[in-house]
Amino acid sequence: MAVQIDPFHAMAISGLAHRLKAEGRSILHMEFGQPSTGAPAAAIAEAHRVLDADPMGYWESQPLKQRIVQHYAQTYGVVLEPRQVILTNGASPALVLALSARFNKGDRIALARPGYVAYRNTIKALHLEPHEIACGPADRFQLNADHLAALDPAPAGIILASPANPTGTIIPGPELERLATVCRERKIGIVSDEIYHGLSYGDRAHSILEFDRDAFVVNSFSKYFSMVAWRLGWVIAPLDLVERTRAFMSNLFLTPPSLSQHAGLVAMDCREELEGHVAVYRTNRALILEALPSLGLARIAPPDGAFYVYADVGHLTDDSMGFCRQLLEDTGVATAPGIDFDPVEGHRFIRLSFAVSTAEIREALSRLQPWFAARTPIASGDALSPRLNPHHD
């Protein structure tokens, strides 16, 4: 029987946004989690040089793999072998590789709800069984060790995301260690999506590899490195599954683009420019958090990292898709409906991405404030969890 997976509803919102733009409307794209900035200048310059000097072909850059190994040693204190780093065409293929190499048909995979739409659908597409665990304000919208300890029987695996999409919440180091311990004791395989590492506004995000060397890690150049269109990522495979993972990679995807690998190697040392992007996101985050009361949005998930605000609009609607469509048509501000991330409670949530310029954030807020004000009095309820100080660093 053919696998049935859900659509990515934000794509429909984006399609409408582009049609409205073609009609001459001013559109602000806050529906996708993609930086509005381009690749670092030095990486682009390297790409120009390589285009003139190298015919390229199927290739896996050993210097880039070694540079990623260096990154894990410097950032997390984790020592890897270069062969554990398998370069991919972005994080999406990396997720497919990790799930395919680690699990077998019919295995049950636990994941947080809300969570990134592609987790649930990729699990289904690979003939695995998603087991979503409702994670609300009391859990800071994240899986924890108690969730896993209570599952009977234990799942074959879990997907972790810290910082998470759509909420931006981060699992603190001690809790991540507890999760790793429970997984080790119950023989639960871990796939950790660390694509938003480098984008945090308080304590740094920890890698699962600090606590479990048998975990798979998925990452990409799309977010922190601002290289969405270059389609370059990686998966870290445990030593005993390196060859199996590589076999899936070579058969399903061959290699990532050679040009992107050359540029990615240079991008890894463009920290000053990249940290400038993070500073912009920090400013944007503060502006949004400061404006939320005037929008009547008092119930949000705390955006510790990434570049999202996940807000409860249940006092206004029980149809987040229709709400986002109307919001876009009326204001030109595109947002993502919560049903992408939570098929049960997502009808009352929307996600706003602040990975745009600060000028666009200010313009978006100037459009959103009167629109929301016309629909609801200022909310007086408590936040879903303690709201972060907008100026917290």
| Digit-coded pLDDT (tens) for 145-155 | 999 999 999 99
**DSSP strands (E only) in the chain:** 28-29, 85-88, 108-113, 129-134, 157-161, 189-193, 216-220, 233-236, 308-312, 333-334, 336-337, 349-353
Q: Which of 309, 294, 319 is nearest to 352 (CA)?
A: 309
Do 41-269 and 9-38+272-373 fall under one CATH topology? yes
Q: What span, in angstroms and rounded, lies between the C-alpha atoms of 298 and 197?
A: 27
Between the alpha carbon of residue 373 and those of residues 334, 370, 377, the distances in Å are 18, 5, 7
Q: Where are the domains of the chain?
A: 9-38+272-373, 41-269
Nearest-angstrom CA–CA distance, 208 and 76: 10
Torsion, CA 110, CA 80, CA 34, CA 122, rounded to 10 = -30
pLDDT digits (tens, 9 = 90+) for 99-140: 999 999 999 999 999 999 999 999 999 999 999 999 999 999
The answer to whether 338 and 113 are in contact (CB under 8 A) is no
**What pLDDT is recorded for position 94?**
98
Give the residue among 207, 253, 212, 214 at the shortest CA–CA distance from 237: 214
Q: Write the CA distances from 149 to 12, 47, 115, 138, 216, integer angstroms.
A: 38, 48, 20, 17, 20
**Fold for domain 9-38+272-373?**
Aspartate Aminotransferase; domain 2 (3.40.640)
Residue whose structure tokens are 């871990």: 190
Percent of the chain scoring above 70 in pLDDT: 95
CATH for 41-269, among 3.40.640.10, 3.40.50.970, 3.30.70.260, 3.40.50.300?
3.40.640.10
Instruction: Give the whole-angstrom CA distance, residue 205 versus residue 200.
Output: 7
Tokens of 256: 């990532």
Max distance between CA atoms of the chain, in angstroms, equals 62
Strands 189-193 and 216-220: parallel
**Which regions in the chain score pLDDT beneath 50?**
378-393
How far, in Å, CA of 312 to CA of 349, rounded?
Answer: 5
Distance in angstroms (rounded) separating the CA atoms of residues 215 and 213: 6
Question: Can you give the pTM of this predicted structure?
Answer: 0.92
